[in-house]
Amino acid sequence: MPTIDNRTLLVSLQATYECINRYEALLDSETLKDPETIDEILMLYYEGFNVLKAVYQQQLDKGESLPSLQQIIPAKL
pLDDT at 11 over 80: yes
Residue 63 backbone zone (phi > 0: left; psi -120 to 50: alpha; other: beta): left
Count of domains in the chain? 1
Domain annotation covers residue 51: yes
Question: Which domain range does residue 27 map to?
Answer: 6-72
Domain annotation covers residue 40: yes
Instruction: Give 30's DSSP letter.
Output: T
The answer to whether 5 and 61 are in contact (CB under 8 A) is no
Q: What is the pLDDT of residues 15-69, one digit of tens each?
A: 999 999 999 998 888 777 788 888 999 999 999 999 999 999 999 999 999 999 9
